[in-house]
Amino acid sequence: MARKSKCDQYALIINTNGIKFAITRKEIRKIATITHQSEDEATLMLMSKIRNLLPAYPMDDGPLTKKQMAAIKKMVPQRVKATASLLEGH
What are the tens digits of pLDDT across the range 28-53? Answer: 899 999 999 998 899 888 888 877 77
Cβ of 46: how many Cβ atoms within 10 Å? 19
Alpha helices by DSSP H, 1-90: 25-35, 39-53, 66-75
- pLDDT score, position 3: 54
- pLDDT score, position 30: 92
- pLDDT score, position 34: 94
Domain extent listing, the chain:
7-75
| pTM of model > 0.85 | no
